[in-house]
Amino acid sequence: MDKKWILAAAITASLAACGGGGGGGSSSSGASVGGGVSKGIVIGGVVNAYGFDGGVLDKSSPVAEPTVTGDDGSYSLTINRGYSGPVLIEITADDGTTMRCDLAVCERDSEGTPTVVFGDSYEPSSAFKMSALVPTASGEVSASVTPLTSAAAGLAQKRVLSGADPSAAALAANAQIANKFGLTSNDLLAQPVLDITNPEALSGASQEVLEYNLKAAAAVAAALDEGESVEDALAQFAGQYEEQGIADREDVNTPSVTIAEILAAAQGLLDKIDELEGVSNEAIGEARTEINTEKSTAETQGSTQPSQGEVPDDLGAEGLQAAKAFVNQLRNVATAAILDEQQQGIDSFSGKVEQAATLVGEDQELVFGATAAALAAIAEAFDVVQSGDEYSSPFMASNEVEVAIAEDGERTVYTVDTVLKGVEVTITASDNSSIEETYESSESDPEAEPMMAQIEADSFTESETFDATADLAISGAASSPALTFTIGDGSLLKGTLVGEWTNEETWSEGEEGYSSSGEYTDDFTLSNLEAVIQGSLQADNAESEFEAVTFSGEIVLGVEEYDYSESETYGDSDTPAGYSGGWENNSTTTLNNFSLDLSGALATAGGDEVALTLSLLADGFVENCTDTGEYGYNPEDGYYDNYSYDCSVEESASDYASVSFSLAFNLDLAGIGEAARLSATASRTGLETADLDITLSYSPAQSLTFSHSADFSDDAEAPVLTVTNQNDVVMTLTELEDGDISGDISVDGEAFATIDEDAGAPVVTFTDGTFESL
């Protein structure tokens, strides 16, 4: 086969730019088992290891000396030399055992008041118990113990009681939990435990580790009803999974805990992490966008039928066998993608990419820019009306957008109906807001008319402070020739606006004429902005083979904080020698924690449709602008003027705006099945660097993750692409100077194949001497 599979991966990566198991085998020597314990971090927990006798769990005689967990929740024990096989690791509480709360609230008093909250340490009850089932204890084995491993251990033990082999049952149950919770690795036990309340630990964690630990904690948070204990919630979650599994989303027959609820709880834990001081890690943004996208997917497209997850066909494959299975898996996916490209319409793999790209093309900036300008003008008109200032309709905003203002009963209605840079904009906002405002002014002659006072007085000062809570119902549309953005009924805009402005002017007048100078400052903060838009995007690109594409669904915009600071000095003079004037305006705009979550359906005019979810986060954006101008007249030069306007984003190699992006949609690849799903996550990691991860997941419990660190600097090194499957087999490819590729395929850090193009095409050579082409 030629290198078309690389092309298929590249197509997938272009969309993102837009926008070894627990054992096998046996040993008579003492195996080493170690890991961490988290619900949250358990300190001084009692660790026991139990074996199986004739397929039956034997808790009468532990197969290792008991131990206790350390200050970081870790443990290590050695299995007795006389035992080999599956091992149940069990953690219980004793006098002196403490646990760090990794939920919003872990305990309440009799009146419901929280007494133990996120980050606090407390003593769990004697009913506390968690476990993990290791398929085979051989050599050095990692076995982290969390609520997810406890649920898997319970399911495996239930199957063992029905006659299943303990090792096989452990492998399958761990893989099923990983699949159900959207983890890319089947090796549930190997995931490191992370203290999500510790800023230092969080700052060094990867996206994969963050997601695992957030989901493990959130499973208990979602099951914890007010008045219940953490121990009760642990048992409830594990019992539900063991008996019937978990549904993606709720209906009248759904058990209390769903994947959507667990992901919502994970979002809440991320909010708690945001409140911690000293946390710095781009992977947190990546984890948030990924969880946002997964939650939207579960809520809009998930099943209401409980399930326990799927088991991959190659479960338990290791070493050379796993490496060969990986190559076969990659070839099957590549073949399916290439064949699918020959299809027409949105069902085509490349068609989906092109369809999505039409919604993030050049017109997007124009359409959303025009929408933002219209909303900014409405906000300015809103401020004028609420402040009680005189105005006429239509009101001319400072960005030269007209706003019609009309009264409708007790509400004020603001309407923009205009054309901005070729975009037709019609947006209406109905006001249901409140505002508190204080206005002050002073002049040397208080009795004079305001305009006369400015001419005759030596000085004039005015200032205003305001505190507004906006609550606007919005609707309308913005359309360019190629893209239409529609805001449907039910959309709203909420937020809090706090600010102040001052204006100070000084005048002087004499026989030679007059002169004036002044200084104006304006500072305001828009916080807790939320815009829920029941809207749609429709692309109609004449250059595309697809006549029209429409996205319909819900778009949620959020801004934690938007700061604007402006100062301007100005002045003019008029004398017999001529007149002159000028100004200098400096402004700074800061945007913190901007979010965009989108969920709905992407469809063609012909009726083809695909579900789509997207999440975008941006933080730490700072823009500085300078606006200067001068004008005048004198007999020598006549009339003259000179203006300049410049804006720059304030960034450096150590201080730059962070951006993370996640996108997911369904695929129907020939030979892969209807359950295929593509998800892409991108995150800015530096001034000129970014990480891209694209995961293709399909039934049964198969996945391929393409990872690439993009470097846009002039001295960037050769690009490297890694591809990892559900069994943690890793293929690493590097592009050489001559354009060829080289690399290897490894399992648990050991290479079992090399890849080169010495023969003119990519060839995989395995360690047993066999080879095959890609």
- Give the pLDDT confidence of 492-529 residue by residue, as tens digits: 877 787 888 899 998 888 878 889 999 999 887 877 77
Bigger pLDDT: 387 or 747? 747
Q: How confident is the model at residue 344 (pLDDT cuts 50, 70, 90)?
A: very low
- pLDDT at residue 118 tops 60: yes
The answer on pLDDT for 295 being more than 50 is yes
Pairing of strands 140-142, 32-36: parallel
How far apart CA 427 and CA 258 sit, in angstroms, is 38
Report the pLDDT value the prediction gives residue 644, as an integer from 0 to 100. Answer: 94
* Higher pLDDT, residue 137 or 325: 325
∠ CA 272-19-426, nearest 5°, is 95
Q: How far does Cα 699 stand from its chain's mean position?
A: 25
The residue ranking higher by pLDDT, 456 or 411, is 411
How confident is the model at residue 758, as a pLDDT?
A: 77
Q: What is the pLDDT of residue 5?
A: 41
Kindly report which listed range (27-31, 77-81, 160-164, 396-400) carries the lowest average pLDDT score.
27-31
**Which residue type is seen at 417?**
D
Which region, left, alpha or beta, applies to residue 738 given φ > 0 means left and ψ of -120 to 50 means alpha?
A: alpha
Q: What is the mean pLDDT of residues 462-466?
A: 81
Residue owning tokens 């690795």: 185
Q: Answer whether 107's CB lies under 8 Å from 122's CB.
A: yes
**Greater model confidence, 111 or 467:** 111
Lowest pLDDT segment from 95-99, 356-360, 475-479, 636-640: 356-360
Q: Is the pLDDT of residue 177 over 90?
A: yes
**Phi, psi for 450 (deg, rounded to 5):** -50, -50
Peptide bond into 86 cis (omega under 30): no
Q: Are 100 and 41 in contact (CB under 8 A)?
A: yes
Q: Report how far residue 386's alpha carbon sits from residue 433's, in angstroms, rounded to the nearest whole number.
A: 9
At 350, the pLDDT band (50, 70, 90 cuts) reads low
Residue 670 is encoded by which pair of tokens? 């020939």
pLDDT at residue 4 greater than cutoff 50: no
Higher local confidence (pLDDT), 316 or 27? 316
Highest mean pLDDT: which range of 355-364, 447-456, 544-553, 624-633? 624-633
**Whole-number average pLDDT of the chain:** 83
Q: Would the pLDDT of 389 be above 70?
A: yes
* Rounded-to-integer distance, Cα 555 and Cα 538, Å: 14
Report the first-to-last Cα separation within the chain, whole angstroms: 5
Strand-pair category, 395-396 with 402-408: antiparallel
Encode pLDDT of 683-739 as tens digits: 888 888 888 888 888 888 889 999 998 888 888 788 889 999 999 999 999 988 777
- 349: Cβ contacts below 8 Å, ≥ 6 apart: 8, 11, 337, 340, 341, 667, 669
| H or E element that contains 377 | helix 362-387
pLDDT grade for 25, boundaries at 50, 70 and 90: very low
User: Rounded to an integer, what distance in angstroms lies between the CA atom of residue 475 and that of residue 409?
Assistant: 19
> Above 80 in pLDDT, residue 1?
no
Q: Tell me the C-alpha distance between 164 and 399, whole Å.
A: 71
Give the start-to-end residue ranges of the domains of the chain: 20-309, 351-650
Q: Which residue has the higher pLDDT, 592 or 213?
A: 213
- What is the distance, to the nearest Å, from the Cα of residue 562 to the centroid of all Cα atoms in its chain? 19
pLDDT of res. 659: 85
pLDDT at 349 over 60: no
Beta bridge partners of 647: 625
User: Helices in 121-189 by DSSP H: which ranges?
Assistant: 147-161, 166-180
Question: What band does 437 get if pLDDT is binned at 50, 70 and 90?
Answer: low
Which residues are CB-contacts of 53 (< 8 A; sequence separation ≥ 6)?
none
Residue 624 CB partners (closer than 8 Å, separation 6+): 586, 587, 588, 647, 648, 650
Helix, strand, or coil (residue 725): strand
pLDDT at 10: 40
- Note the pLDDT of residue 673: 59
Q: 57 and 160 in contact (C-beta within 8 Å)? A: yes
Q: Which of 199-213, 313-327, 385-399, 604-618 has the highest mean pLDDT?
A: 199-213
Q: Which residue has the higher pLDDT, 375 or 329?
A: 329
The rounded distance, in Å, linking the Cα atoms of 37 and 25 is: 26
96: left (phi over 0), alpha (psi -120 to 50) or beta: left
Write down the pLDDT at residue 687: 84
SS3 55: coil
Q: Which residue has the higher pLDDT, 138 or 403?
A: 403
Find the Cα–Cα–Cα–Cα dihedral 158, 162, 165, 167, rounded to 10°: 0
Output helix, strand, coil percentages for the chain, rounded to the nearest 5: 25, 45, 30
749 φψ region: left (φ > 0), alpha (ψ -120 to 50), beta (else)? left
pLDDT interval class at 561 (50, 70, 90): confident
> Position 736: which residue type?
L
Helix (H, G, I), strand (E, B) or coil at 103: coil
DSSP code of residue 41 = B
Distance CA 371, CA 423 (A): 9
Handedness of CA 331, 332, 337, 341 (dihedral sign): positive
Task: Tell me: pLDDT of 6 over 50.
Answer: no
Looking at residue 114, its amino acid is P
Of 140, 133, 135, residue with least CA distance to 29: 140
Whole-number pLDDT of residue 615? 86
503: amino acid identity, one letter: N
Nearest to 131 by CA among 57, 20, 212: 57
Strands (E), 19-109: 32-36, 42-43, 46-53, 56-58, 67-68, 74-78, 87-92, 98-100, 105-108
Is residue 424 a contact partner of residue 478, using CB atoms and an 8 Å limit?
yes
Name, in order, each residue with C-beta under 8 angstroms of 95's C-beta and a sequence gap of 6 or more. none
Structure tokens at 128: 């506390």
User: How sure is the predictor about 434, in pLDDT bands with cuts at 50, 70 and 90?
Assistant: low
Residue in 392, 405, 412, 524 with CA at minimum distance from that of residue 471: 412
Alpha carbon distance 342, 348 (integer Å) = 7
